[in-house]
Amino acid sequence: MRIHPTRPAGAIVALLVLASCSHASDSGGSAAGQAAALPETLVFSPLSLAPPALKGLSEGVKGYASGKGWEVIVQDPNFDSSTQTQQLNEVLSSGRAGAGWIIAVAPPSILPIIRTAQSKGIPLLVNGRPDEYGFAGPQPGITFDYVDYAAGGKALGEQLGNCVNEKMGGRADVLAAQSSEGQAGKKEFEEAAAAALKATAPGATIVQSVIAKDRAGAQTDVGNVLQGKPGLSAVLASNDEGALGAIGAFAAAGKTPRCVTDFGGNDEVLKNVTTGKIYASVALQFQADMTQSFDTLVRMRADPKANGQVLIVPQKVLTAKD
């Protein structure tokens, strides 16, 4: 949402950071005592619960964590950064949080939350790379979990190029359904996708783009575009909402897109891959990432002043042939 949500996203699905306090050498009995005092309660704050992929991820997190004896508090900022920081500040200040997993709406807005968590010894897992926030590496009590957007964009563009070459003789007018401004990795993802498409199918040209924040909005916007550009025949979607909204818009116009590729890979998208409505999905492996993310947070509680890790969300290209 990506991960895509946007990306997610996945989203896509898709985490952040701060500080330069003391390192593992500062930990010891006091750190262990602090960890023991923290409740086994995880605060999960995604971009929003509106995208099905993030709603499904929240359910997966609750199921997995409860199986380990943890309670999960799921928040819904609904794509509003101010709401997200307010919700997180309230729960961190209340003493209810033992760990936090944040998929930030606007990463810079989360920096005060990270400082608060570090001061309280509450480990966080956040979206993005350390360098996106001015750091050279992991930070005390903070793990970064990021989507390799350059790799994802490259795979998405290559798959659309393959489809255009295979089904359309190498030429197509392409609609790009893109993630909202401010989402992590947007620029590098879109640049990689466009470059890979052009390299794979030089006769394919992106002639129009829309922002796909949600499925209904994407369907409306793509429908409006089709009225002015009826020759559009291929869709490069940065998230599930864009891919599904575009398919709905084409259907409402009595058309069928020849080639659609998607980044995200929720259940509905994957069903459409199986039936051939979507040529390929660069699918974020949320189950694998959920497991590595939660398990990392649990381990971090043993020494909340030690540097966290840098994790990468697994992704896999799926087509009807797989």
Q: Is the model's pLDDT at 19 over the cut of 50?
A: no
pLDDT bin (cut points 50, 70, 90) of residue 81 is very high
Residues with Cβ within 8 Å of 38's Cβ and at least 6 positions away in sequence, in order, are 97, 98, 99, 121, 122, 301
For 122-176, write each residue's pLDDT tens digit. Answer: 999 998 888 877 778 889 999 999 999 999 999 999 999 999 999 999 999 999 9
Residue 30: the pLDDT is 47
For 219-237, write each residue's pLDDT tens digit. Answer: 999 999 999 999 999 999 9
Stretch 180-191: mean pLDDT: 87
Stretch 198-214: mean pLDDT: 96
For 266-286, write each residue's pLDDT tens digit. Answer: 899 999 999 999 999 999 998
Please state, for a pLDDT cut of 90, what percent of the chain lies above it: 75
The least confident of 41-45, 96-100, 284-288, 305-309 is: 284-288
Structural contact between residues 262 and 318, judged by C-beta atoms closer than 8 angstroms:
no
Q: Is the model's pLDDT at 203 over the cut of 60?
A: yes
Stretch 59-68: mean pLDDT: 96
| Cα 202 to Cα 161: distance, rounded to the nearest angstrom | 8
Of 305, 257, 299, nearest in space to 278 by CA: 257
Residue 34: the pLDDT is 52
Query: Could you tell me the strand order of the sheet in which 142-146 lies?
Result: 71-74, 41-45, 99-102, 124-127, 142-146, 310-312
Residue 35: the pLDDT is 52
Query: Could you tell me the strand order of the sheet in which 203-211 lies?
Result: 203-211, 171-178, 234-237, 259-264, 280-284, 315-319
- Compute CA distances 207 → 172, 176, 235, whole Å: 10, 8, 11
pTM for this prediction:
0.75
| Cα 190 to Cα 250: distance, rounded to the nearest angstrom | 23
Q: Is the model's pLDDT at 215 over the cut of 60?
A: yes
DSSP assignment of 233-294 equals: -EEEESSHHHHHHHHHHHHHTT---SEEEEEE--HHHHHHHHHTSSSEEEEE-HHHHHHHHH
